[in-house]
Amino acid sequence: MATQTTKIIIAVIVLVVVAAIAIYAMQKGAQTPTTTASPAPATETETAPQTTPTETEAEAAPAEIPKKIAVVYDIGGRGDLSFNDMAYLGASRAAKDFGLELVEVQSTTEADYLPNLRSLAKSKEYLVIIAVGFLMTDAVKQVADEYPDQLFAIIDGYVPDKPNVLSILFKEHEGSALVGALAAMVAHHYGCKAVGVVLGMEIPVLYKFEAGYYWGIRYGEQVYEQKTGKTVEPLQVLWTYTGAFNDPARGKTATEAQLEQGACVVYNVAGATGLGIFEAVEEAAKSQGKDMGPPFAIGVDSDQDWIKPGFIIASMMKRVDVGVYTAVKRALEYRQGKIDKYGGILELGLKEGGVGVSKLEDLETFLSIAEQAGRKVNKEEIMAKVKKMRESIPAWIWEEVDKLAEQLKTNQDIEVYGLKFSDIAKMIPLDANEIKQIRAKLGVPEG
């Protein structure tokens, strides 16, 4: 009985305390908006003393450009050494340059995308809400319809025909051409017979990676012949669709098959399946007693060079940071009345700095921001390994890749095997027939 009474007394005390805290918190919450809002009308009255404060407040409210931007990360979250970290990089730069406040929201599950976007849009406090990654496409579409006055941007997602949504896409064929050239030159440098690419599910989006890569390979071979004065056998180009984007085991098997056929550079166009590509390449090199390639893999989407340092020669990067920065800038210009159209598709290529081949500096920036986000990375060791690997390739090869990047920015009429790069660019989006034609022209056998 005594213990029961004590319990009840405790319960009552707790109830009172909790209620008191709740009331205090509520009052504090009610105060916060007023305190933050009060300076604004005060400055208004200073600049325009003629009008009464109430009028200025009413007039200023709708014209004022929101001072906050929001980034919604997908389930990978900060510290992913990929899209989300790059998005943070771009958003924080934009916030600093344009004097905006950055609000970050992470998603625990896929079910969070819609409520995250809705909660932000509902407050009407944001200049632009940026959704990172194509997984949020459906959610963005829906919330954009519900809040037509709110500006959105989606990275790597395709939402055409909505005036308040900017879809930031990347010209992957341009980046793929660069890594193709790199692959070919590296392969010939080591006297290999073949280069390969392992892809995910066969969907048209991947055809532009293929086309760019094959074109780059043939271009790289020509450059190699010119540079060294040797005539070389054209490389055999191997390609495999694994049918999945998250099956590392299949990625590994497919890569092992290509390595057996003599490939010494394999391009990852397969999402998480690609982790198997990296593993296969590392194992093959290690079984020959080497602590770095060849064989090499090529990373994709983000700078993946850190995953297996020494075995990933470079990565075809989509510069999500550039995309996010561009979206914020565009939203600001639109709200300032400098441009009259916001929404639509914005494709970022070499010219806009939207795609590129990873460099050592990229890796350093990248590892640093991942460290900031609380991820443990062995920065010095990774950097040292990647540097050693890069230095094992003749410097002229790297220079030629940079040269091609510069050329493609201004002139896409470069022709190899009777196919101009601009011809490929014009055909995009490619369908199954067109990629067959491209393969045939560039001497890539059908599977």
Partner 1 sequence: MGLEKISGVFERIIPLADVLVAIAVGFVASGALMEVGGYNALEAFRSLFEYSFLDTYYLSSTLSFAAPIMLTALTFAVGVRAGVFNIGAEGQLYLGALGAVLVAAFHLPGFLYFPLGLALGVGFAVASAAVAGILKAKRGVNEVVSTIMLNWIAFWIVEYMRTYQIADPHDPSKTIPVPPQARLPLLISGTELSAAIIIAIAFVIATYYILWHTVIGYEIRATGLNPDAARYAGIRVDRSILASFIVGGVAAGLAGFLEVTGRPPHYAITTGLSNLLGLGFDGITVSLMGLNHPLAIIPASIFVAALKVGARGMQIEAGVPLEMVKAVQGIIIISLAAPGLIRTIQARRRAKLVEEVKPVAG
200 binds partner 1 (CB under 8 A): yes
How far is Cα of residue 53 from the mean position of the Cα atoms in its chain?
A: 46
| 231 touches 224 (CB < 8 A) | no
CB of 119 to partner 1, least distance (A): 5
End-to-end CA distance of the chain: 82
Q: 116, 302, 304, 412: which one contacts partner 1 (CB under 8 A)?
A: 116
114 binds partner 1 (CB under 8 A): yes
Q: What is the C-alpha separation between 188 and 28, in angstroms, rounded? A: 69
Q: What is the C-alpha separation between 9 and 17, in angstroms, rounded? A: 12
Q: 41, 115, 262, 394: which one contacts partner 1 (CB under 8 A)?
A: 115
CB of 266 to partner 1, least distance (A): 21
Backbone angles phi, psi at 396, to 5 degrees: -65, -30
Which tokens is 210 given? 């293929």
Q: What is the C-alpha separation between 426 and 90, in angstroms, rounded? A: 30
Cis status of the peptide bond prior to 429, with omega within 30 of 0:
yes
Q: 98, 190, 245, 398: which one contacts partner 1 (CB under 8 A)?
A: 245
Residue span binding partner 1 (CB under 8 A) among the ranges 104-112, 285-293, 340-348, 400-408 = 104-112
106 binds partner 1 (CB under 8 A): yes
Rounded to 10 deg, the angle between the 172-189 and 204-228 helix axes is 40
Identify any residues that bridge with 212 across adjacent strands, giving them in sequence order.
none
119 binds partner 1 (CB under 8 A): yes
CB of 120 to partner 1, least distance (A): 7
| 219 touches 181 (CB < 8 A) | yes
DSSP state of 431: -
427 binds partner 1 (CB under 8 A): no
CB of 348 to partner 1, least distance (A): 21
Size of the site for partner 1 (CB under 8 A): 56
Closer residue to partner 1, CB minimum distance, 28 or 426: 28
| 168 touches 154 (CB < 8 A) | yes
Binders of partner 1 among residues 32 to 91 (CB under 8 A) are 32, 70, 75, 77-78
Side chain identity at residue 293, one-letter code:
G
Binding site for partner 1 (CB under 8 A): 1, 4, 7-8, 10-11, 14-15, 17-18, 21-22, 24-26, 28-29, 32, 70, 75, 77-78, 103-106, 108-112, 114-116, 118-120, 122-123, 134-135, 137-139, 141-142, 146, 200-201, 203, 243-247, 374
